[in-house]
């Protein structure tokens, strides 16, 4: 068995490097016109078997996800996170990262850690995607009031509603810039402005922007001074933002306490392992230790979910 360990180690490294190569080929794939369309004769020469295999896998995954519609990794979810690639690209990347984690877990601590990494890696990637969605929506929330003021200023200057939206997009940063530019582009190719604005409100899950959309729709039906209406909506949004900031300040202690309670067992286990490996040997080499680690992961997950509900006030 000891004679085979170097072979297993070498095979694991080769498989890990192959997974990393697939991930890198997906991440750094050119966003411009494909080489097969620009220079077909060179594309046939320079495309490697790995590239063709990756492209075929991504194409198949995209078709399958498009047929199934919405899900944990849909196009709508990636748009909410501000990611530009297709879902198949990220599925290939997630598979490559999971494979690398499984191989490293097997090489470091044996089959149990590899199985644990097989379960933890996809969950961690999904949590990271949700984190990107949450951060983007939070930044969008902070930009709504200023963007609304720019929109009202453009209307007072005599611009049309679409031109005011375009001007507000030019003066903003991402993600508001990206969303407003998308509204302008969709309207120019024939989509209704109200539908585009409503789609932005649904994609960002922003109640304030939904109020702006309703105000614009009502104005388009009954007429009136839209700039004055938007000023009133802007004042209401600023009051809501101020109240939201006060609530977050009052609940900051609870969030920090939850973070400390979640991180303390993990940090203590890592610290004990570094100072005295004998402490962690029981958990990583015996079946009762495996069960205790599994129970700790389950309890931490349930406790983290419960704490996240307690420190997330709604108003």
Residues 285 and 303 in one domain: yes
The structural domain count of the chain equals 3
Domain boundary among 244, 266, 286: 244
Residue 123, in any domain of the structure: no
| Per-residue confidence (pLDDT) for residue 35, from 0 to 100 | 45
Look at residue 163 and tell me if it is in a domain. yes
CB atoms within 10 A of CB 167: 18
pLDDT at site 2: 43
pLDDT recorded at residue 43: 43
Q: What is the pLDDT of residue 266?
A: 83
Write down the pLDDT at residue 64. Answer: 57
Q: Are residues 157 and 235 in the same domain?
A: yes
Specify whether 17 is located in the same domain as 74. yes
Report the distance separating Cα 162 and Cα 166, nearest Å. Answer: 6
Q: Is residue 117 part of a domain?
A: no
Burial class of 105 by CB neighbour count within 10 A (0 to 12, 13 to 18, 19+)? buried
- The answer to whether the bond into 175 is cis (omega within 30° of 0) is yes
Q: What is the pTM of this model?
A: 0.65
Distance from CA of residue 48 to its chain's centroid? 31
Query: Using an 8 Å Cβ cutoff, are 262 and 307 in contact?
Result: yes
Same domain, 273 and 226: no
Residue-level pLDDT at 217: 85
Residues in the chain where the model's pLDDT stays below 50? 1-4, 30-33, 35-36, 38, 40-45
CATH number for the domain harbouring residue 219: 1.20.81.30
Residue 199 sits in which domain range? Answer: 137-244
In a domain, 159, yes or no: yes
| CA–CA dist 124, 117 (Å, integer) | 10
Q: What is the spatial distance between Cα 102 and Cα 123, in angstroms, rounded to a whole number?
A: 14
| 223 shares its domain with 141 | yes
Q: Is residue 129 part of a domain?
A: no
DSSP 243-280: HHHHHHHHTHHHHHHHHHHHHHHHHHHHHHHHH-HHHH
In a domain, 116, yes or no: no
Whether 275 maps to a domain, the answer reads yes
Tell me the residue length of the chain.
315
């Amino acid at each position: 068995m000891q004679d085979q360990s170097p072979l297993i180690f070498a095979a694991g490294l080769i498989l890990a490097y192959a997974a990393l190569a697939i991930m890198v080929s997906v991440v750094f794939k050119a966003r411009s016109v494909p080489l097969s369309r620009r220079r077909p004769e060179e594309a046939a020469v320079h495309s490697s078997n790995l590239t063709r295999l990756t492209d075929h896998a991504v194409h198949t995954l995209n078709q399958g996800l498009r047929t199934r519609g919405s899900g944990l990794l849909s196009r709508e979810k990636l748009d909410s996170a501000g990611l530009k690639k297709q879902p198949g690209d990220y599925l290939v990347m997630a598979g490559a990262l999971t494979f690398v984690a499984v191989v490293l877990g097997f090489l470091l601590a044996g089959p149990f850690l590899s199985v644990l990494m097989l379960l933890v890696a996809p969950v961690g990637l999904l949590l990271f995607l949700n984190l990107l969605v949450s951060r983007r929506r939070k930044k969008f929330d902070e930009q709504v009031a200023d963007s609304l003021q720019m929109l009202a200023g453009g209307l007072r200057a005599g611009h049309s509603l679409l031109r005011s939206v375009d001007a507000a997009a030019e003066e903003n940063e991402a993600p508001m810039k990206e969303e407003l530019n998308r509204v302008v582009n969709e309207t120019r190719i024939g989509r209704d402005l109200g539908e585009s604005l409503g789609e932005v409100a649904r994609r960002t899950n922003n109640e304030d922007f939904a109020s702006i959309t309703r105000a614009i729709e009502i104005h388009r039906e009954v007429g009136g001074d839209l700039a004055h209406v938007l000023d009133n909506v802007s004042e209401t949004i600023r009051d809501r933002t101020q109240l939201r900031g006060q609530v977050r300040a009052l609940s900051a202690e609870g969030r920090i306490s939850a973070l400390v309670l979640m991180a303390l067992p993990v940090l203590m286990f890592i610290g004990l392992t570094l100072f005295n490996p004998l402490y962690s040997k029981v958990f990583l080499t015996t079946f009762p230790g495996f069960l205790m680690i599994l129970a700790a992961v389950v309890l931490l997950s349930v406790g983290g979910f419960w704490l996240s509900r307690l420190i997330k006030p709604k108003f």
